[in-house]
Structure 1
Amino acid sequence: MISRETIDDVKNRVDIVDVIGDFVTLKRSGQNYKALSPFTNEKTASFYVVPSKGIFKDFSSGKGGDGITFVMEHEGMNYMEAIRYLAKKYGVEIKEEAQSQEYALQATERDSLYIVMNYAKEHYKQRLLHTEEGNGIGLSYFRERGFNDRTIEKFELGYAINAWDDFNKRALQEGYREEMLDKAGLIIKRDDGRFYDRFRGRVIFPVHNLAGKVIAFGARILTKEKDQPKYINSPETEIYHKSQVLYGMFQAKNAIRREDSCYLVEGYTDVISMHLADVDNVVASSGTALTEEQIKLIRRFTENVTVLFDGDAAGVKAALRGIDLILKGGLNVRVLLFPDNEDPDSFSRKMGSTAFKQYLKDHTQDFISFKIDLHAKEAGQDPIKKAEAIRDIVTTISLIPDPIKRSVYIQETSQLLRMSETVLLSEMNKIVIGERRKKDQDRGREVQEPPPDFMNEPPVTETKTDENTMVQLQERESIRLLLNYAETHYDEQRLVDFMLAELDDVEFTDPILKEIYQGFKDGAERGEVVDTMYFMEHGSAAVKGVVAELTTPRYEASKHWPEKNIFFPHERELLHDLAYTNVLRLKFRVIQKLVEDNKAEWRKATTEEEQEKHFTIHEQLKGAEKELAVILGIVVNKG
């Protein structure tokens, strides 16, 4: 167990902008920062970071909390793993205490997979550097490609001994369970129930997540065996989903953010060779077809992508597929096609660092000119093929979600092809409208065609009444005021003292809001200041999420408004009236709910005595409701 002293030291050093900035490109918005959600595939920014309070809030997914919470949510870590990660980031020495058996048993399968994958990484590194076979085969291969010691360490490259159970045998000796090695995809079960190593006689390329943890491996064979694929990769596990990962992103993310640009290549060695050529802002799809999740991952750090592809027919086809998908994801795309029989790996080694970087700069094309050049070669003088090519180019432009960018590209295409802009625009609009109609029809079918067992489903009943909803909305406003202004001066006391006294007879109905309110009450009894950071320290995950949401401002006044004589009071200036009115409104909503609850019980009454009791309660509640309504200026019915 990590000591309390270490945890406190880590918390004191955490800079939430610095922490989240490792995973998301943040843009300043007034005193705060905003970005696209790293948890959902959104088109407009709804992810906010408030440095002054040390919190983030993602209004798209509902997640929120402090820097530690973000690392846990984003990387799937538990609390202690997140502390270890941040301790390493900030150079905090970890002091540990004896771990109880009960805590050890609480380790999840996910935690165990990370531990196993880290062990495997160290095993393969040891085999590469400290065995005769690893040196003679694996290290020689890396040296031939120009990989130096720094690069080998940077990407944590390794080698798997060409034996059926070298890894499995050693892992078992170290106390790892075969069941977990199997779940991690490191060993494979035979028909007879015994296991053998998945990776044998291959150089190893570890795949990292954004936090630098190894989640999978790619392995390349160096011999020419006909029955063996060139590359084999880890299977999908709880911590590895290949459609959501890009090789080299951990090593490239800072450079991508710094350059505001990302190079996209195909394989492991392409990435590493470009790093050797001092081009660090590069990632690879690792031989798999590009996915929407991978594009979303790039978009966290930049909106500018340059796709680098081999100069052969297969490379061209892959480039075209990739361009369309990237454009659809809202990114700006440029393309570079290498000469025939060349790829980023071979070409960078052949040219050297300076010449290679200059080549990238000089030969990168806009996707429009790339497609026009490509189709011009294929179509020649054939008018039918020319028409098909133009329609294909317009179809690609129609995929761009931003209508302004679409219009600009249509203008550029019109100039390059010397065609009427009106004709191109008309064709594009047909495509866009057609796709829209198709989506609407698909959505209609989804609604009209319920699953086969739909009719057997029990009817859904609404459990939350309107009165409950209104009460909880007012409870929420009460908590918002407390979180933002608890220590603010209110008459001769603090606002928290006023609200706790006025709401002493009110029982909160929402369990999370109730927990927060109780935190304020307990703090007042102990004489402690309870604020946002208190709940980030002591609150549950649900509490942290609500606190982050209620203390994160989504909008800021324009700094140019005062120049235009546009002024409005800050909420703090209206706080006296806001707090007083809120207390009255909450009590008013509680009474309305009690009225409805009493009516429900009244209807069930079977004796005259019970009916008389509920009638008396009803009259008292309606009297209180009327008094509050008069103060608030609300008209209520007499029922």
Structure 2
Amino acid sequence: MNDNSKEEITNLKDSLNIEDVIGTYVQLESKLGGKWIGLCPFHDDTTPSMHVHTGKQIFKCFACNEGGDVIAFISKIKSCTFAEAVNLLRQEWCNGSTPPPQHIARREKAKQKPPATPAQLAAMEAENVKFMRSMYGHHPALARIHEVKLDDHSWMDGNKYHPDCSDITQTYVDFEVSQAGSTVPSAFKAMRGRIVFPIRDENNRLVAFAGRTTQTITDENRSYTPKYVNSQTSDLYNKSRTLYGLHLAGEPIRTETFAFLTEGYKDTLAMVAAGFKNTVAQCGAAFTDDHAELLKRYTKRVAVLMDADERGREIAAAAIVVLHRHDMQTSELLLPPGEDPDSLFRRIGKRAFRTIVAESQLTGHLQAIKESTGMDLASLVSDNPLESPEADEADIISTMQSDRPRLMAREQELQHQMRKLGSKRFLFGQGPERMQINTELMKLRSQLSEVSKQLNRPIVWYK
């Protein structure tokens, strides 16, 4: 039998754990969902860019675009052929032994790299600017030079990119979104043919790009056609320390006293197009401590709005943990199942989208309460005289939605009473009268919190 037959190769891969093999060469850290991350050995990576998926038994670097199965990894790391990689795996992994770790020296070397000088940083940014200007797309300065008008469809020729949604178009212009052509500088070859989202840091420096494929991602092409490719980590750009859109969102965040945090670039653009200019997105799959510290310079309150799927819930939960670790207040907003801000905006339009975000999707909020507490939805409205024991969840939700005017009136009355007591409290020192007022304020605050939950106000903060 041929030792390298398709069946034998399949048996070999099934007998190995890809995280164990890659872990010999890369120090991996465990993440949610059976995934591991580590420094990519195939480029000068200083923050973890390589993801290893134990379920699919594949690896993928989202910076340099290397990826594949365990054999592809060995072929690349050892600079050998497919057959040589197979033999090496059999010799070192199928005889009951495990090769010693070989990644320590590389990590030390990465730490010893001297930082770039201001001149080097300026040169890196200049290359980014040159690449962006080569893409004739949604760049305001280029639009003015070429007298581009959005109602003139000739501007869609060449490499110009149109988001195919008139309500979002101007936001794509403002954020300089373009589409790379088939011929690009070698340093940006991973961006060829992709929709390119320029990434600026909080100081408005053009530090990186994210390229989204124009292809439809399927199970067949997922392993070799990544949805996004990103600029490599450098002294100019570190995705773990960069928030997309912060250069424009900084002042709106301070004005609104809170920030929306989304999962991706397109989601942030949809939020901004809807008027929520205090929106940023994490760069990369993980919200980090550096992200939290960066955001904390602008606000201590963050409304987390991720995709309404299992992965989105995992990302939201992880981000909330990090935010709480930095003593920040959070509110998790919920969208209809399977939606994300971009898809929902495009499906229902700007006005309806604003309503759902503002009310934080009442149905989803009630369902989240049911899942987290085990409480039946009927018990949430047990004090409502309109509710009947036979009502199903849809009836209950409909009743609560129709009861909003009464709840809003009650909310305003509670707020009025609290303002009066707050003013009255300043007239007293530390005597019993002040203690009584504080007690009454606590009661009113508790009542207001319950009313706000039923109204599902978008900013209900938790610590």
The structure whose Rg is larger is 1
TM-score for the superposition, normalised by structure 2: 0.48
Greater share of helix: 1
